[in-house]
A and B are shown apart, each in its own frame.
Chain A
């Protein structure tokens, strides 16, 4: 069970399928997906958006966190069909016009990552946190990212990165 079978059909047979309309990072997609397709596989394998990582694949680690209608969700525990008619934002949708999002800048400036595996999910949770709580206390940041695991940093620099972004966004930055 530990080895992911991602992408490999078990048998030649596929389906059933379901028609979905979904917006990802502002771009509309209309497609047929297998009903059992997970949102994370849809993003990575069908749209090629591999910035969203698959970590534990059991909705613990949060590496696969994306925004669904603005709320952070673990895309390994959401079906692609559940995103029908809704809007998804992934780490690829953070930077705009060649400028990094404040949260990306924060992770860079404050050394918020080492191996970088948890980083996309961590940043998406942080963006969701900051949209709901623009001036979070350290405690609120720590609780806000408590669904995202990092095994490198001890979280100290991640908290600093989010504080950096909060400050930057307060100064008239973008969301």
Chain B
């Protein structure tokens, strides 16, 4: 399959890239890793007039922590996230999700920024970003702004990014003591999209009760989805098996899966319950310093 014709630009600065996006007025696509975009072009699901390749722009690939945030540059490859020992140690949810993205060859190209901003409800990182309460930094013609993950996903393939904006950085609140998180995913085989995925993140109080929690769901709604009621049911509670079971069943209520090749809707909803229980249990264990 051959992609449709397009004009190609490889800008060397963000300003230049934004200028080009503005010039094409919404009829251009940003090319990062291209592991979703190029198949989409080949299948003629999109035929933009131009591709703006951001890979020549320096300083967009990094993983670093400061006092407030874990900062991940948008061009960081999925495998770089997976291989980071700091991420493995302090943000295991991201290692687990990165390990689930496609396969090792695709992960050499595919970027973290592309995964979170493509708007595909079956991508793994968006649910994690929702659970972690991440922020997305974007650069556009009027400068930079940050968008909370919770306001980012609007519908399938539609995000809060404007046509002339580029996602530049993902900001995740810095890991704290007594924080734990995990990502559980069910897939038919390596490289396939998930049947269901559940991301869980929580903080324990010194007494051992749950202070706050976040739960994100993959592939069971038009966008990655927050399971708000489920997360709130945990607040102030001791993380007993019953409390977790109840939250997991509330998470099932937040899922609106559709029946497809990967399974009937009822099965997927049931699996949200199972995976939510697993992710929450592991998150609690990690918050207590284990796992």
Contact = CB atoms under 8 A, between A and B. Distances in A.
Interface stretch (A23-31, A141-149, A161-169): A141-149
A4 B38 contact: no
A119 B50 CA distance: 35
A38 B109 contact: no
A168 B214 CA distance: 49
Interface in B208-232: none
Contacts of A57: 1, 42
A62 B7 CA distance: 28
Nearest to A121: B105
Interface string A3-14: 011100010000
Given A16-B7, A147-B102, A1 B43 contact: yes
Contacts, number: 91
Nearest to B108: A71
Interface in B23-58: 31, 34-35, 38-39, 41-43, 51, 53, 55
A32 to B, nearest CB: 12
A36 B109 CA distance: 18
Interface residues of A, number: 36
B10 A147 contact: no
Nearest to A3: B1
B103 interface: yes
Contacts of B104: 72, 125, 143-144, 146-147
A104 interface: no
B190 interface: yes
Contact of B106 (A4, A15, A74, A81): A74
B157 interface: no
Interface in B105-154: 105-106, 108-109
B5 A15 contact: yes
A101 B108 CA distance: 23
A11 to B, nearest CB: 9
B8 interface: yes
B39 A5 contact: no
Contact of A78 (B4, B8, B34, B43): B34
B191 to A, nearest CB: 6
A88 B38 CA distance: 19
A72 B42 CA distance: 21
Contacts of A153: none
Contacts of B7: 16, 35
A59 B4 contact: no
Contacts of A143: 104
Contacts of B109: 73-74, 77-78
A78 B38 contact: yes
A143 B7 CA distance: 37
A59 B106 contact: yes
Contacts of A35: 5-8, 51
Given A35-B5, A38-B2, A147 B103 contact: yes
Q: Please list the 9 inter-chain residue pairs (A to B) with the smallest Cβ-Cβ separation, ordered nearest first.
A: A147-B103, A147-B105, A35-B8, A146-B190, A36-B3, A71-B108, A77-B38, A72-B105, A146-B103
24 contacts: A1-B1, A15-B5, A16-B6, A16-B8, A35-B5, A35-B6, A35-B7, A36-B5, A36-B41, A58-B39, A59-B39, A72-B105, A74-B105, A74-B109, A77-B109, A78-B109, A79-B31, A79-B34, A79-B38, A146-B104, A146-B190, A147-B103, A147-B104, A147-B105
